[in-house]
């Protein structure tokens, strides 16, 4: 049984970096595929943030302060972008490598372990999500949506979101048998995107529904990045960080054990 991925990858093993290097080589001539994922949140920002935002004006942000609607939406789209980038790589591409291309079976003939594969694939998903986050942050700067120096922590926060969703996405994918199973992924991701206070304040929900939304993973990321973007810090942000860390490490633990079972049987 492979050791827990923390000991095989996150604490210094360089073997998992070889897998990231392989993915960089594979995408060397297919970078446009990765770049394409950046434009969806940008289109949402321009159409809803600025288009609809021109009609809405200001809206209550973190701490109850009034902020422009564009500034309210942009951090949420940054969080969603990190989620989508990591999920795409950790589900569809991971499933293809695991079940059709047999990439991981070939990799395990090298000194890499199943834990190294889990950490390496998650690392690559984080790189993809991180590229989206950095690109979107540049857009926010250009559009004048930076009002606090704490916004510099929004990119690490986006990587944390990618870590949580990428790890859980890989864990879920390890149980999937057919491409049709991915409908379940969309069944989860789409409601999270729409209802995690992405486009309107959490206070608009009835109290019972509000509590449910506040316990969902994307809301943790949305509120974390939105608070950092406008410079409203509170102890609640530590809960968001802890929630996403636990979610990520739990997913990583599951996927490492699943790869052990699937590839070393």
pLDDT one-digit tens code per residue, 22-39: 767 766 665 665 566 667
- Mean per-residue pLDDT of the chain: 83
The two three-digit tokens of residue 11, written as one number: 């604490």
Query: Based on the structure, what is the number of domains in the chain?
Result: 1
State mean pLDDT over 197-205: 90
Q: What is the pLDDT of residue 185?
A: 87
Q: Domain limits at 195?
A: 5-263
Which residue's entry shows tokens 């564009």?
70
- The pair phi, psi for residue 183, each rounded to 5°, is -60, -30
The two three-digit tokens of residue 60, written as one number: 């209550």
104: exposed, middle or buried (C-beta count within 10 Å: 0-12, 13-18, 19+)? buried
Q: What is the pLDDT of residue 150?
A: 92
Q: How confident is the model at residue 60 (pLDDT cuts 50, 70, 90)?
A: confident
Q: Worst-scoring range by mean pLDDT, 6-20, 42-56, 182-196?
A: 6-20
Give the up-direction half-sphere exposure of residue 173: CA atoms within 13 A in the CB hemisphere: 28
State mean pLDDT over 186-199: 90
Q: What is the pLDDT of residue 2?
A: 47
pLDDT exceeds 50 at position 171: yes
Instruction: Choose between 107 and 226: higher pLDDT.
Output: 226
Which residue's entry shows tokens 């970078």?
31
State mean pLDDT over 195-214: 91
Q: What is the pLDDT of residue 221?
A: 95
Q: Worst-scoring range by mean pLDDT, 55-64, 141-150, 191-200?
A: 55-64
Q: How confident is the model at residue 120 (pLDDT cuts 50, 70, 90)?
A: confident
% of the chain residues with pLDDT over 70: 88
Q: Is 14 helix (H, G, I), strand (E, B) or coil?
A: coil
């Amino acid at each position: 049984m492979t050791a827990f991925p923390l000991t095989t990858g996150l604490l210094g093993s360089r073997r998992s970096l070889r897998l990231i290097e392989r993915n960089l080589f594979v995408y060397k001539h297919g970078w446009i595929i990765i770049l394409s994922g950046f434009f969806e949140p940008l289109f949402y920002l321009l159409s809803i943030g600025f288009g609809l935002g021109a009609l809405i004006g200001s809206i209550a942000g973190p701490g109850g302060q009034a902020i422009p609607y564009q500034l309210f939406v942009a951090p949420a789209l940054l969080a969603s972008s990190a989620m989508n980038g990591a999920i795409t790589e950790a589900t569809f591409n991971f499933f293809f490598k695991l079940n059709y291309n047999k990439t991981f079976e070939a990799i395990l003939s090298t000194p890499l372990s199943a834990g190294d594969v889990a950490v390496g694939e998650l690392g690559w998903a984080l790189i993809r999500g991180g590229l989206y986050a950095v690109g979107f942050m540049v857009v926010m700067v250009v559009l004048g949506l930076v009002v606090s120096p704490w916004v510099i922590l929004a990119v690490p926060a986006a990587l944390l979101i990618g870590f949580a969703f990428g790890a859980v996405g890989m864990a879920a994918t390890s149980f999937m048998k057919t491409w049709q199973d991915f409908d379940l992924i969309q069944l989860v991701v789409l409601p999270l995107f729409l209802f995690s206070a992405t486009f309107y304040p959490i206070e608009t929900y009835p109290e019972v529904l509000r509590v449910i939304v506040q316990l969902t993973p994307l809301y943790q990321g949305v509120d974390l990045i939105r608070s950092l973007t406008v410079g409203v810090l509170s102890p609640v942000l530590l809960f968001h960080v802890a929630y996403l860390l636990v979610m990520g490490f739990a997913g990583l633990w599951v996927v490492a054990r699943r790869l052990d079972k699937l590839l070393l049987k």
